[in-house]
Amino acid sequence: MIAALTMTILAASSQPPEVDEMQQLKVMESAFFAAEAHRAKRHETSSKALNGWKLKRAFSHNIPWPKQSLSSSLLASPPALDIPWTMNQHVAAYMRFFQGRGRRTFQVWLDRSALLIPVLRPILHEVGAPRDLVYLAMIESGFRARARSSAGAQGVWQFIPATARAFGLKTGHFVDERADLDQATRAAARYLLTLHDRFGDWYLAWAAYNAGPGRVRRAQRLTSERDFWGIASELPRETRNYVPKLLAAATLAQRPQHYGFRRPSAEQAISTKTMPISRPLALTKIAEVCGVDGDLLWHLNPMLKQGITPPEHLYGKAFELRVPQATPEDCVTRLKKLPVQENRHIQTYRVRRGDTLSGIAKRWGARILEIARANNITTRSTLRLGQKLIIPIPVKRKR
């Protein structure tokens, strides 16, 4: 099923890096919950006197968060999930957020999920993890293979480099397997199962995935509690909101039309295949030789950090490049016949005063588009003084 990738997902990966979807969502979240807090405070100060059970309900600030309850098909209560489910004020707040300020973003996530979730669920099931853990990927990255956080996390599952390497993913100069849909999903499933074995609770496993196992253990020691809702007050705000956010996303995604979203619509799938490449070639050159659309080739291979295939002696094997099914069979033979001068190497460069992308490209004999893609910027990006750039250069210009 990995061979069928969607144009919706590909388009998501091509979003300009200056407009970060998850950062925008965080800003909207902050504004939403600030407004919620202000509204609650205003209601508290202006509410009339209550009596009996209403008084107790309105002013019981010390009631602990509800315990998790099992969802799903066994209790015949929606949504039907194979992960524990709870509905409380925190989950409901995130549902209101996604139905309000975050509606447009969540609809985009739903559209991307239409063909991606059916691909991820069997992988999770094969590894032995709950299939509905796909919603963790939804809130982590919005299902974007090239999503990158300020903390260095990357890919659909937002692995940081150390954790990725610990679970068998390569994060070298040429290839970052955190962006590989199949391998990253398997690694995420193994990591989440490890966390679940450690804490014996899926909510704590999710919290540990976000903040790290040490933070969760520390919160347990401080509160003498063992469940997520009991330790939430001692967790960082992002982690405190992580579980309610995931539950809200899962709830809405199960019945999107019931909650006012349109039916998810993904664009037509593209059938793909792989071909082995053993030398460092730029995707632009491969596209030119094989008669394939360069942008499509770039989006089909998000694990290639610089837009260059890795040399076999560094990667350990020939790189399996994903190409459209219609790519000519003799493409590999044509690529092998290319002169050695077409090989690409990596050079780093610090931006100086007066530098432009076109000037740097001309100086190194590189292509502007290759430099832009290697640095996750656009061809029109403004360069910063001292900014570190990665320059893919031909062998003949290496120096």
pLDDT of residue 37: 77
Q: What is the mean pLDDT of each run of 10 residues along the chain (399 residues)?
A: 48 48 85 79 52 43 41 46 92 94 94 91 96 96 89 92 94 90 96 96 97 96 95 95 96 93 78 92 93 91 90 88 92 91 84 91 86 84 89 63
Alpha-carbon gap, residue 332 to 235, rounded angstroms: 52
Phi-psi region of 128 (alpha: psi -120 to 50; beta: other; left: phi over 0): left
Alpha-carbon gap, residue 187 to 133, rounded angstroms: 13
Residue 105 φ then ψ, to 5°: -65, -45
pLDDT of residue 370: 82
pLDDT of residue 7: 42
Would you call 175 helix, strand, or coil by DSSP? strand
Structural domains of the chain, ranges and CATH numbers in brackets = 9-42+69-259 (1.10.530.10), 270-338 (no CATH), 343-399 (3.10.350.10)
The pair of three-digit structure tokens given for residue 191, joined into one six-digit string: 């990591």
Please, are residues 232 and 88 in contact by the beta-carbon 8 Å criterion? no
Would you call 77 helix, strand, or coil by DSSP? strand
pLDDT of residue 71: 38
One-letter amino acid of 90: H
How many residues does the structure list for the chain? 399
Torsion angle of C-alpha atoms 293, 296, 298, 302, degrees rounded to 10: -160
Please, are residues 267 and 116 in contact by the beta-carbon 8 Å criterion? no
- Residues annotated catalytic, as ranges: 140
Please, are residues 3 and 272 in contact by the beta-carbon 8 Å criterion? yes
pLDDT of residue 43: 57
Would you call 307 helix, strand, or coil by DSSP? coil
Between the alpha carbon of residue 249 and those of residues 155, 197, 376, 383, the distances in Å are 19, 24, 28, 37
The number of C-alpha atoms within 13 Å of 259 and in the hemisphere containing its C-beta is 24
What Rg value do the Cα atoms of the chain yield, rounded?
Answer: 24
